[in-house]
Chains A and B, each alone.
Chain A
Amino acid sequence: MKRGLLPLLLGLVTILDVVFLALPTLVVLAASFTAGNIVTFPPQGWSLRWYADLVQKPEFLEALGRSLEVGVVCTALAIPAGTLAALALARFRLRGAAFLQIYLLLPFTIPLVVSGVGLMLVFGRLGWLGSIWPVGVACCVVNLPFMIWAVAAAVNHLDPDLENAAWNCGAPPAHAFFTVTLPAVMPGIVTGALVMFILAVNEFLVSLMLVDARTVTLPVLVYNAIRSIITPDLAAVSVVYVVLALAAIAALDRLVGLEIFLKSKQS
C-alpha cells in the first residue's frame, strides 16, 4: 500500500492538471459551433455559420497568412541564435556568466508592454516599421529565453565525453558539431522551435505596437475586433488555430516522432 501511494498521488495531480488545462479551452471550442449570435455554453443550437463567416472575410485570411509569416521569421531566427547561445553558455566556462544570464533574461524581466513601446522606438529609428518581418524579429526577441533554456536543457544530456571522443578521433570541428553535438541537442531545438513558433503566431501585445492597418496580424485583429460585444467568430478563430496546431503536431509526430521532445536519439 505504502509503495503505491506516491505514484497514485502523481497520477491524480496529472489528471487534475489535464482538466485544469483543457476545461476553458474546450468550452470555448464548443461555443464556436453555436447557431446563436453570442458566445454561450451550452451553445444555442449547432451550426457552422461562424466558420462560413470567417472564410468570407478576406482580412481574416490575410491576417492569418501574416501571422504564419511572423511565426516563420521568428523561428528561423531563434533556432540558430538560441542554439548557439545555449551551447556557449552550457559548454564554455564564461567570465560573468551570471551577468550574461541576467542580460539574456531581459525579455522576461521587462514587461511586454514596455518591450512593445521600446521596440517601436528602435524599429522606427531603423526605418523597419511597415513590414511584417520586423514583427517576427520582435517576437523572437521577447521569447528568446525559451529557445535558449530549451536547448540548454538538452545540452546537459549531451555527454561531453562523446564530443571529446569525436575531437580526439580527429573529426574536424564542423563534423563534430553536425554529427555529434546537433543530433544530441535536437530534442531541445525541436521543443524550443515549436514553442517559439506557437508564441509568435499568438503574440499580440508587442505586435500591437509594431503593426499598422496594412500589416495587422491575426491575434492583433482579434484583440482589436471587439468594442461592444463578443461574437462567436472569435471563438471560431481559436478553433482554426487549434486545428492548425494539431496538424503541426501530427506532422511533427510523423516526421520525427513526438518522443523527440523528451529524448535525443543518442540517449
Chain B
Amino acid sequence: MTHRPFSLRVLDAIEAVRVRLWPEAFRPLTPLAFLLPALILTGLLAAGLVPLLDASFRPLDPATFRLAESYAAKNYITLLTRPVYGWIALRTFAGAVIVTVVTLILAFPYAWTMVRTRSARLRRCLLSALFLPFFIGQVVRAYGWLIVLGKQGLLNAVLASLGLPPLSILYTYGGVLLGLVQYMLPFAVLMLAPALTAIPKEIELASASLGATPAATFRHVVLPLARPGLVAAAVVVFTLTLTDFAMPEIMGGGSNKFVASAVYDAFFQLADPGLGGALAIALTLVGSLVVGTALAAFGLGTLGYVQERKEAS
C-alpha cells in the first residue's frame, strides 16, 4: 500500500466526491437517484402529452381553426362512432401481434447462430448485417423494396424465370407486415443475444448427456432460460409496431394505414390537434395496457430483479 496506481487514485478522488455529495444517510434514496436522469428525460415526453390530452377534449372550430374554449367528448365520440377508426385500430393491433410472433421466430435462430458460432468472422458479418439496414432512409428504403418486390421487380423476374406466376406483395397488408418484420428484426436480435449468451453451454451438454434430444433440450432448457430476452424483444417489437408510421406509408400503397398514420392525418392534413390528440391518447393507453398485462403474465423480461430470478430458478 505504499504506492497506489494512478487509476486507483482517480477512484479515490471520485469516492471522496461521492461521500461529500451523497452521504450514507442518503443511501435509501440511491435507487431514485439512479433513475432520476431517465425519469426527467421521459418526463419531457410526458409533459408534451399534457397539452395534447387537453386538446383531445376540445372540438375544432372550422371558422377560426382554433380549438373550442370549453371541454367536450366530441373527438372521442368520433373515434368510437366512425367505423373507419375501428378498422384502422383492428388492422394495427392484429399487425402488431403477427409481426411480434414472426419477428421472434426469425430472430431467435439469428441470435443463436451469432452467439454460438465459433467463427469470429461469421459473427462479425452477422452483426454488420444487423446494423446496415438502419442507414437507408425512409424514402430510399421504399425504393429498395419497390425494386425487389415490385410488379416488374427482382422477385417477380426470378419467379417468371422459374415459370411461376408473379406475386403482388407490395402495397398490400402483407407487404406492410413484411416491411415491419424486416425493420424490427435487428432490434429483436439485439434484445435476444445477451439473454442467449447467458445460457451456459454446459447446461445443454448436461441435458444431452442425460439423453434428451436436441428438440427436448431446446424446449425444456434453452427456451425457459431465454425467456427474459424473449419478453424484452416481444415488448420492444410489439410497442414499436403498434405505433409505427413509416412502414405502412412505405409498403401500404396508401390504403393500409395504421393508427399513427391516422394521427398524422389529423394533425397535419386536417389541422385538428384535438382529434389527433384523442387518437394518440387512446393508442398510448392501449399500448401501455397490453405491455402491463404482458409483463404481469410473463415476468419483467430482462429488467427483472436479479435476485428474484435466482429464487425462481
Q: Are A118 and B126 in contact (CB under 8 A)?
A: no
Closest residue of chain B to A263 (Cβ to Cβ) is B197
Report the Cα distance A222→B140, complex, angstroms: 9
**1/0 contact trace for B227-261 toward A, CB 8 Å?**
01100100110011011111000000000000110
Closest CB in chain A relative to B34 CB, distance in Å: 4
- Known A21-B130, A173-B18, A223-B138; judge A109-B113 contact (CB<8 A): no
Q: Which of A28-73 contact B (CB under 8 A)?
A: 28, 31, 39, 41
B139 touches A101 (CB 8 A): no
Shortest Cβ gap from B158 to chain A (Å)? 11
Secondary structure class of chain A's binding surface, majority of residues: helix
CB neighbours (8 Å) of B242 from chain A are 109
Asked if A104 is at the interface of the complex by the 8 Å CB criterion, the answer is: yes
Given the interface pairs A84-B34, A114-B276, A122-B44, the reply to whether A14 lies near B110 with Cβ below 8 Å is yes
B38 touches A85 (CB 8 A): yes
Structural contact, A235 and B143, CB atoms closer than 8 A: yes
Chain A, interface size category, equals 35 or more
B49 at the interface (CB under 8 A from A): yes
Contact between A111 and B260, CB atoms less than 8 A apart: yes
Contact A204 B197 (CB under 8 A): no
Given known pairs A90-B306, A93-B305, the reply for A107 and B45 (CB within 8 Å) is yes
B259 touches A152 (CB 8 A): no
Count residues on chain B whose CB falls below 8 Å from chain A CBs.
112
User: A87: CB under 8 A from chain B?
Assistant: yes
CB distance from A118 to the nearest CB of B (A): 2
Q: How far is the CB of B293 from chain A (nearest CB, A)?
A: 10
Q: B35 near A85 (CB under 8 angstroms)? A: yes
Total A-B residue pairs with C-beta atoms closer than 8 Å? 355
What is the bound-complex CA distance between A263 and B200, given in angstroms? 12
Asked if A94 CB lies within 8 Å of chain B CBs, one says: yes
B176 within 8 A of A: no
A132 within 8 A of B: no
Q: Which of A7, A122, A153, A234 contacts B229 (CB 8 A)?
A: A153
In the bound assembly, the distance between CA atoms of A235 and B296 in angstroms comes to 45
Q: Which residue of A lies closest to B150 (CB)?
A: A41
A112 and B126 within 8 A (CB): no
B198 close to A (CB within 8 Å): yes
- Per-residue B-contact encoding for A1-13, CB less than 8 Å = 1, 0 else: 0110111011101
Contact between chains at A108 and B245 (CB < 8 Å): no
Chain A: minimal CB distance from B84 (Å): 18
B2 within 8 A of A: no
Q: Which of B18, B41, B115, B137 contacts A174 (CB 8 A)?
A: B18
Task: Determine whether A256 belongs to the interface, using a CB cutoff of 8 Å to chain B.
Answer: no
Known contacts: A85-B37, A88-B35, A242-B132. The answer to whether A117 contacts B245 by CB under 8 A is no
Q: Given that A109-B284, A118-B52, A156-B304 are contacting pairs, would A188 and B194 also be in contact in the complex, using a CB cutoff of 8 Å?
A: yes
Q: A121-B48, A160-B306 are in contact. Are A110 and B243 (CB under 8 A)?
A: yes
Q: How far is the CA of A249 from the CA of B127 in the complex (A)?
A: 9
Cβ-closest chain A residue relative to B232 = A149
Whether A86 sits at the interface, judged by CB under 8 Å, is yes
- 27 intermolecular pairs with C-beta atoms under 8 Å apart: A17-B185, A23-B144, A24-B136, A24-B145, A39-B147, A90-B304, A101-B295, A102-B288, A102-B292, A102-B295, A105-B291, A109-B287, A111-B280, A114-B280, A115-B45, A118-B49, A119-B48, A122-B48, A137-B44, A150-B190, A173-B15, A202-B134, A204-B138, A222-B137, A222-B139, A249-B128, A261-B127
